[in-house]
Amino acid sequence: MNLNREANFLEPEFQILYPLVATQQNISCWVARGIANLIRHKAARGEMCVLGLATGATPLAVYRELVRLHKCEGLSFNNVITFNLDEYYGLSRNDANSYWQFMHRHLFNHIDIKSENINIPDGSVGLDDIEEYCDSYEAKMASVGGIDVQLLGIGRTGHIGFNEPGASVFSGTHLVGLAEQTRKDAAVDFGGIKNVPTLAITMGIKTILNASKIVLLAWGAKKASILQKALEGPIGPMVPASYLQVHQNVSIFIDHKAASCLSSVTSDIKN
Ligand code: GLP
């Protein structure tokens, strides 16, 4: 993988980029520059750039680099609209563990995006209104032309967003139950598993696959086994991330530890 070449997210491709020497930091900066190039490309044409964003530890270095590009290299987010993948259900946006807070803490508070262009599912919507709310989230995405680039992490259950095993490929934004493993993984943040919400609002698999470009990031040995299933196993609901195999424009960036269970990795590091 040649990190000296600019990332171009306009060219369709399905690729697994498994760098032998590049670090998580280098790759994240490269992905951030790819996003920046797309934002600038769209701005030059007077177009909005629609980003699908993820939470978790995985994309943090990408967000740090986007903030740096804004502060040090004049990258403007004036023409950017964002849609976040998911939010814990039952948390208000003021809750320290809400993804609303996470995104503002790590990205939105430090860039010039217009607040009205930030979309994060509202975890405080009443149960009676949830279906209508989810439909309106989908409609809003459609009304701005859909997502140009969707950033994804992967959970140890194989979830993307919060689409846990059993997820339908036809699902739009909806309310879901969280898998026990996912709640365990979040327990540290919440000070114990009993405090971790049992439900979440998430974009569905169909929503995610509708994005023009998908960029999946994964770091470290704890993601190795599920990545092998997602990328080399059968496509189906038991490993929701496996549905990415049917998308025509996906880039998967993983470090060597995350790639350690893959039997077939392609690396263009020599190119
Ligand atoms: C959460 C998020 C996912 C994310 C996953 C992985 O469950 N809803 O979108 O991909 O965590 O988290 P991490 O990046 O911390 O490994």
- Residues 100-135 have pLDDT tens digits of 999 999 999 999 999 999 999 999 999 999 999 999
Strands 80-84 and 118-119: parallel
* Single-letter code of the amino acid located at 183: R
Q: Whose CA is nearest to atom 3 of ligand 1?
A: 161
- Percent composition of the chain: helix, strand, coil (DSSP 3-state, to 5): 40, 15, 45
Name the DSSP letter for residue 91.
-
pLDDT score at 270 = 34
Count CB-CB contacts under 10 A for residue 234: 9
pLDDT tier at 256, thresholds 50, 70, 90: confident
Q: How far is the CA of 155 from the centre of ligand 1 (A)?
A: 5
- The tokens describing 10, both together, are 């306009």
How many Å apart are CA 14 and CA 98, to the nearest integer? 32
Specify whether 164 is catalytic.
Answer: yes
How many Å apart are CA 155 and CA 158, to the nearest integer? 5
| Closest approach atom of ligand 1 to CA 202 | 8
Q: Are 50 and 212 in contact (CB under 8 A)?
A: no
By three-state DSSP, how is residue 78 classified?
Answer: coil
pLDDT tier at 268, thresholds 50, 70, 90: very low
How many Å apart are CA 237 and CA 270, to the nearest integer? 36
> Which residues have CB under 6 Å of ligand 1?
54-58, 85-86, 153-155, 161-162, 182
pLDDT at 265 over 90: no
Burial 149-160 (b: 16+ CB within 10 A, else e): bbbbbbbebbbb
pLDDT, averaged across the chain: 92
Q: How far is the CA of 182 from the centre of ligand 1 (A)?
A: 9
How many Å apart are CA 15 and CA 253, to the nearest integer? 9
Name the DSSP letter for residue 6.
P
Q: Whose CA is nearest to atom 1 of ligand 1?
A: 56
- Residues 227-247 have pLDDT tens digits of 999 999 999 999 999 999 999
Q: Are 146 and 212 in contact (CB under 8 A)?
A: yes
How many Å apart are CA 14 and CA 213, to the nearest integer? 10
Q: Which one from 11, 116, 164, 180 is the annotated catalytic residue?
A: 164
Q: Are 206 and 170 in contact (CB under 8 A)?
A: yes
- The tokens describing 177, both together, are 């139950």
Angle of helix 99-106 relative to helix 60-73, nearest 10 degrees, comes to 40
Q: How far is the CA of 178 from the centre of ligand 1 (A)?
A: 12
